[in-house]
């Protein structure tokens, strides 16, 4: 009996029933979704084969496209063209073209969240003035896989616009289904053949409304993200912000946004004396005012676009769920208090004249 049991356990518990070797699977780095009268789904496949002898490190990618009337049909048509078993667990990014984002993302979110073979820890990016197919085909010397490059730039890069730690797909859907907040996604552009991030795509419900301008996008990132070293310009002076904190609360019938950050002087007019203590408070006041104006502009613009990207409605819903109405966050009075504390000047006392 023990022998039979042992044989059965060897056969059934070794996990080899439906295993697949690495050469039997196609690792998908990213999925792209475009829309032009029908859905176009692109799969970025990471090719792990050696390209030539002694060139074992080179990884090339291939892009396979599928089309269909619905997203799922296009997705399945793309999968059908892959010669090996598609493996989505290493998927890093979902690229959505402007057209597809305008069409609406409900179907896409629903399918990808439900599908068990797709890991939900990838990031979502909207492509502006370019298509996902074009992005997947870029040739970069530093990072041959476009999906990895995008994620590395937005997670570890030094750009002004970055992923929020809560931008992973499942948490993004969590935000999308919440009351009183509209989603916003990082927008990707191509500048001289290289990937660049200068804007945020903002949504109303599941449809793309517009792209924020660069200043608004940076302000949005400062308000929602832990951003280190983002530059803030006021007249001829520039400071780098760090340790930023945002507090939003709903009290006495209005929303109060309090923003605080420390700042390091980066560039100043040549008549400034760093040994003079009043310089710091003067600069602090100047940049606090600039930041306050930036936040007010962002709120005005989001009101104009009818997209509650700062989740002002969510604050009202959290406090008074019974009196909450859709869009109330865009109508309520907002008070902004910004405080920038300029307290570092680098390693010199004087400006070169």
| Angle at CA of residue 118, ends 117 and 123, nearest 5° | 175
Residue 203 touches other proteins, criterion: CB under 8 A: no
- Rounded Cα distance, 79 and 118, in Å: 13
**Using CB under 8 A, which of 92, 97, 225, 314 touches other proteins?**
314
Instruction: Please identify which residue in the block is written with the tokens 């010199």.
Output: 348
Two tokens, residue 144:
């041959």
Residue 70 φ/ψ, nearest 5 degrees: -115, 165
Binding mask 23-62 for other proteins (x = CB under 8 A): ----------------------------------------
Q: Which is nearer to other proteins, 225 or 314 (CB)?
A: 314
Residue 12 touches other proteins, criterion: CB under 8 A: yes
How far are the Cα atoms of 36, 178, 312 from residue 223, in angstroms, in the given order? 35, 19, 12
Q: How many residues bind other proteins (CB under 8 A)?
A: 29
**Using CB under 8 A, which of 39, 136, 203, 317 touches other proteins?**
317
Two tokens, residue 261:
């950050």
DSSP three-state, residue 214: helix
Instruction: Please identify which residue in the block is written with the tokens 């896989």.
Output: 145
Residue 5 touches other proteins, criterion: CB under 8 A: yes
**Using CB under 8 A, which of 60, 165, 254, 331 touches other proteins?**
165
**Using CB under 8 A, which of 36, 129, 170, 228 touches other proteins?**
170
**Using CB under 8 A, which of 84, 106, 129, 177 touches other proteins?**
177
Residue 319 φ/ψ, nearest 5 degrees: -85, -45
DSSP three-state, residue 163: coil
Two tokens, residue 151:
């994620």
Q: Which is nearer to other proteins, 319 or 350 (CB)?
A: 319
Residue 79 touches other proteins, criterion: CB under 8 A: no
DSSP three-state, residue 245: strand
* Region 85-144 residues binding other proteins, contact defined as CB under 8 A: 113, 116-117, 119-121
Residue 318 touches other proteins, criterion: CB under 8 A: yes
**Using CB under 8 A, which of 72, 82, 171, 332 touches other proteins?**
171
Q: What is the CA radius of gyration of the chain?
A: 25
**Using CB under 8 A, which of 38, 300, 319, 350 touches other proteins?**
319
- Rounded Cα distance, 303 and 306, in Å: 5
- Rounded Cα distance, 26 and 101, in Å: 27
Residue 284 touches other proteins, criterion: CB under 8 A: no
Q: Can you give the binding site for other proteins, defined by CB under 8 A?
A: 5, 8-9, 12-13, 17-18, 113, 116-117, 119-121, 165-166, 170-171, 173-175, 177-179, 314, 317-321
């Amino acid at each position: 009996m023990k022998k039979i049991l042992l044989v059965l356990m060897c056969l059934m518990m070794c996990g080899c029933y439906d295993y697949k070797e690495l050469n039997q699977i196609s690792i998908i780095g990213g999925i792209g979704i475009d829309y032009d009268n029908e859905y176009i789904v692109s799969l970025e496949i990471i090719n792990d084969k050696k390209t030539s002898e002694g060139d074992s490190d080179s990884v090339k990618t291939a892009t396979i496209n599928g089309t269909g009337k619905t997203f799922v049909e296009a997705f399945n048509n793309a999968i059908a063209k892959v010669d090996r078993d598609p493996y989505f667990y290493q998927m890093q990014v979902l690229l959505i073209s402007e057209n597809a984002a305008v069409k609406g993302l409900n179907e896409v979110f629903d399918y990808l969240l439900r599908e068990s073979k797709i890991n939900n820890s990838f990031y979502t990016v909207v492509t502006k003035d370019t298509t996902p197919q074009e992005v997947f085909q870029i040739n970069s010397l530093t990072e041959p896989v476009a999906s990895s490059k995008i994620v590395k730039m937005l997670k570890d890069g030094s750009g002004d616009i970055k992923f929020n730690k809560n931008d992973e797909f499942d948490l993004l859907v969590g935000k999308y289904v919440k009351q009183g907040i509209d989603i916003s996604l990082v927008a990707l552009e191509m500048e001289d053949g290289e990937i660049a991030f200068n804007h945020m795509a903002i949504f109303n419900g599941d449809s793309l409304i517009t792209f924020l301008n660069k200043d608004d996008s940076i302000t949005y990132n400062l308000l929602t993200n832990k951003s280190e070293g983002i530059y803030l310009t006021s007249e001829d002076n520039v400071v780098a912000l760090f340790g930023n904190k945002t507090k939003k609360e709903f009290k006495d019938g209005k929303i109060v946004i309090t923003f605080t950050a420390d700042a390091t002087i980066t560039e100043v007019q040549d008549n400034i004396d760093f040994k003079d203590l009043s310089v710091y408070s003067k600069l602090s006041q100047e940049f606090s005012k600039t930041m306050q104006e930036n936040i007010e502009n962002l709120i005005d613009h989001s009101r104009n676009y009818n997209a509650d990207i700062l989740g002002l409605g969510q604050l009202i819903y959290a406090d008074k769920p019974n009196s909450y109405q859709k869009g109330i966050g865009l109508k309520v009075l907002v008070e902004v208090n910004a405080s920038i504390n300029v307290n570092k000047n680098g390693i010199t006392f004087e400006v070169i004249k």
